[in-house]
Chains A and B, each alone.
Chain A
Amino acid sequence: MPTPAQRSRSFRKRRVATPGGKINIHYTKKKPAVPKCGSCGKRLHGVPRALPSDVKKLPKSRKRPERPYGGNLCPECARQKIRIKNMERWEND
């Protein structure tokens, strides 16, 4: 039987073959969802898919791309957004 804390849907069952020929079940925490672009839903690169406690240990530059909207928008959408912002800024001139 698993410990009560592990009797939860947020745990994944892993089958592990032991040296004695048995198959034991290990309980591991499930990974969070894949990071996606906020506007188009594309999968984001350069953003780790790990538990928040593990992500916290990483340096800032490994958590997201070093670009405006990095880690929130995909590069194409970010480019578009910067372009539109630039155009809006000079509209009144």
Chain B
Amino acid sequence: MIETGRVCVKTVGREAGKFCVILDVLKDGFVLVTGPKAATTVKRRKCSIHHVEPTPVTVKIKKNASDDDVLAAYKQAGVFKKLGIKEPTAKEIEKARDAERKRLAKAKTEKAKPEAKKKEPEAEPKKAEEKPEAEKAAPAKKEPAKKKQEAKTVKKPAAKKAVKKTTKKAEPKKK
């Protein structure tokens, strides 16, 4: 039942009860999965087979297909009607794309930093080995729980967010 193109329901976590598609079957009982986020709010992520429940619906997609390809395949196969999901508007799709772009940019900056740190501390070889592996698995998730030195860099985007919030609040008042 578990193969690329199989539509599933997530049973665990905040995405529980939501639909997703299997993009690739990985090692050790893991699976690459996406909603896509614009359609069902399920992120593109690795996930255990035990956290996924298959449905009889399938879609024709390639291995590791992009979210746009998946959305197109959904349209062709009429999956939105079958699952009872709303088709995402162009705005929603673009929003998801923007978020993905930001996530990738953040992951890049983080990957560059731990490599520089590796050379400095030789006393902690075990920790240095563990951290990059964890980042590969979930680069977006582990951002907040970073080391103290990186906290300085993390503060900057937080400040930007605060500015954005204030602007958002100010806009509706003008209207």
Contact = CB atoms under 8 A, between A and B. Distances in A.
Interface in B1-56: 9, 11-14, 16-17, 53, 55-56
A86 B53 contact: yes
A78 to B, nearest CB: 7
Nearest to B56: A90
A15 B53 CA distance: 54
Q: Is the interface of A mostly helix, strand, loop or mixed?
A: helix
Q: Determine the interface band of chain A, counting residues with CB < 8 A from chain B.
A: 10 to 19
Contact of B16 (A68, A89, A90, A93): A68
B13 A82 contact: no
A67 B14 CA distance: 5
B56 A82 contact: no
B14 A82 contact: no
26 contacts: A66-B14, A67-B13, A67-B14, A67-B16, A68-B16, A68-B17, A75-B12, A78-B16, A79-B11, A79-B12, A79-B16, A82-B9, A82-B11, A82-B16, A82-B17, A82-B53, A83-B11, A83-B53, A85-B17, A86-B9, A86-B53, A86-B55, A89-B55, A90-B55, A90-B56, A93-B56
Interface of B: 9, 11-14, 16-17, 53, 55-56
